Structure 1
Amino acid sequence: MNIQRENHSETFLVLWQKIDRIKLGGNQTNGQLQEEQLTLIAFDGIVYSNKDHYRLESDYVGSYNLIIDRVNEDDQGEYQCQLNTEPRKTKRIFLTVQVPPRIVDFRPNPPLISIRSGISLTLLCRAEGTPLPHIRWRFRDIDMNRIDSLPPNNSNIWFIPSINNNFPNTVECIADNGVLPASNRIFTISVE
């Protein structure tokens, strides 16, 4: 993330901050209220916050860069750089951290499910990631996908109203958001 100045002959103090938005109570007319909380990262070439995570670089021709090492999910958000010029020059940048999908909360479905024929079955597959993952289901133990019995794409719930012995033994839930690797969950179903 960087900011540049146009007048290279003067020295300016540079301030980097992270902007966190704190949600306050709202009402029916104005919706959710937010307050900005500024966290000082660096000022005048000195890093004050999390020194092993942030660092500054300048090319000495008007570019002031904030470098974030080992980026993680907590780094996502809005950053602000200010030059103490007259008038003050401010630039805001929003950093989106892409996170691969991860399937979470397997309950109530264990990986191996024993069920009587004729009983209904609900399979759940919930995933997290940034951007939000899309969910798709597939049969693993047959060559041809029986698309007519699969739930629609991006459905994390698969309701089977009446399972029978013809139902494939292994189904897979796949979560994908374009950030590698995709995540999957395999369910082995034994119909008695």
Structure 2
Amino acid sequence: MRPGHHFHSTSRRQVAWVRVDTQTILTIHTTVITRNPRVTLEHNGHTNWHLHISDVNEQDRGAYMCQINTDPMISQAGFLQVVVPPKIHDLGSSTDMIVREMQDISLRCRASGFPPPRVQWRREDGAAIQRGNGRDSAAMLVEGEQLNITRVSRLHMGAYLCIARNGILPAVSKRVDVKVHFGPVMLVSSQLESAYVGQRSKRLQCETEAYPRSINYWTNGAGEMIVAKEPAPTTYSTVKLNQNIYTSPAGY
């Protein structure tokens, strides 16, 4: 950063640079007063005076004034605006979570930067975010550092992205994975199956929706677990996420 001032003066006139908000004298004529090693002075005789600040940071934001000890005093001020790209802080932000159905959850994303960043939430899979049961509770994007979801269900399971932008590149994001525990729900495509005497095999199939994946087994009419001879029948455990059914052999 190189603010400067140009004027004509005699050798008896002196120039000073002042930090206005703190009333700190930075330089007087050719001498650097401040102990900040990032502040230096450049001048060309008695006409051009430039204050240099290297490695500018947020603490340098503020008003600076160039003063000439004339009578009356001549001065000119300028404001140094320091922009900072957005940053998401782990401290104060949510991490991956596991919850039970019907619980309320809050996802938090603490971001900083200058100008203050705009924070938005969206689902990683592109689906709408369901925040409740109301007509206007679904949205593709949710504004704000906190995302509240009431009475979560298995359909809320998935990854949520917090994105912070303030016009200064790069934008940043944080991923929060939400897993929802729910008990098994059984799906039977056909409740009545028939077979003829002597038929070598008959396949009976049922599917379950559950998270974590359920352990499935078959019983006979007496309630006894069926222990199959080789080849063993395959049972299936199914997890339904956002209308997409994922089916795998039980135990896998």
When the two structures are superposed, what TM-score results if normalisation uses the length of structure 1?
0.79
What are the ranges of 5 or more consecutive residues in structure 1 without an aligned counterpart? 21-36
Q: Is the 8 A contact 1:56 1:64 kept in 2?
A: yes
Q: Which residue of 2 aligns with 1:13?
A: 14
Aligned residue identity for 1:115? V
Deviation at 1:180, TM superposition (A): 2.1
Q: Which residue of 1 aligns with 2:111?
A: 127
Q: Is the 8 A contact 1:101 1:127 kept in 2?
A: yes
Aligned residue identity for 1:166? L
- More displaced stretch, 41-50 vs 144-153: 144-153
Report 1:1-192 matches (<5 A): 1-5=3-7, 7=8, 10-11=10-11, 12-20=13-21, 37-60=22-45, 62-104=47-89, 106-107=91-92, 109=94, 111-140=95-124, 142=125, 144-146=126-128, 148-150=138-140, 152-153=142-143, 155-192=144-181
- Number of residue pairs matched by the alignment: 170
What are the ranges of 5 or more consecutive residues in structure 2 without an aligned counterpart? 130-137, 182-252
2-structure distance, mates of 1:112, 1:59: 59
Q: Which structure has greater strand proportion?
A: 1
Deviation at 1:168, TM superposition (A): 4.3
Inter-CA distance 105–121: structure 2 relative to 1 (3 Å threshold): same
Q: Which residue of 2 aligns with 1:34?
A: none
Deviation at 1:182, TM superposition (A): 2.0
Q: Is the 8 A contact 2:122 2:142 kept in 1?
A: no
Inter-CA distance 160–151: structure 2 relative to 1 (3 Å threshold): farther
2-structure distance, mates of 1:65, 1:73: 21
Deviation at 1:120, TM superposition (A): 1.2
Deviation at 1:52, TM superposition (A): 2.0
Indicate the structure (1 or 2) with the bigger Cα radius of gyration.
Answer: 2
2-structure distance, mates of 1:145, 1:95: 43
Q: Would you identify which runs of 4 or more consecutive aligned residues in structure 1 move more than 6 Å?
A: none
SS in 2 for 1:56: strand
Percent of matched pairs sharing the same residue = 29
Aligned residue identity for 1:3? H
Q: Pick 1 or 2: higher relative contact order, CA cutoff 8 A, min separation 6.
A: 1
- More displaced stretch, 54-63 vs 79-88: 54-63
Aligned residue identity for 1:78? A
Q: Is the 8 A contact 2:122 2:141 kept in 1?
A: no
Deviation at 1:106, TM superposition (A): 4.2
Q: Which residue of 2 aligns with 1:23?
A: none
Q: Is the 8 A contact 2:164 2:172 kept in 1?
A: yes
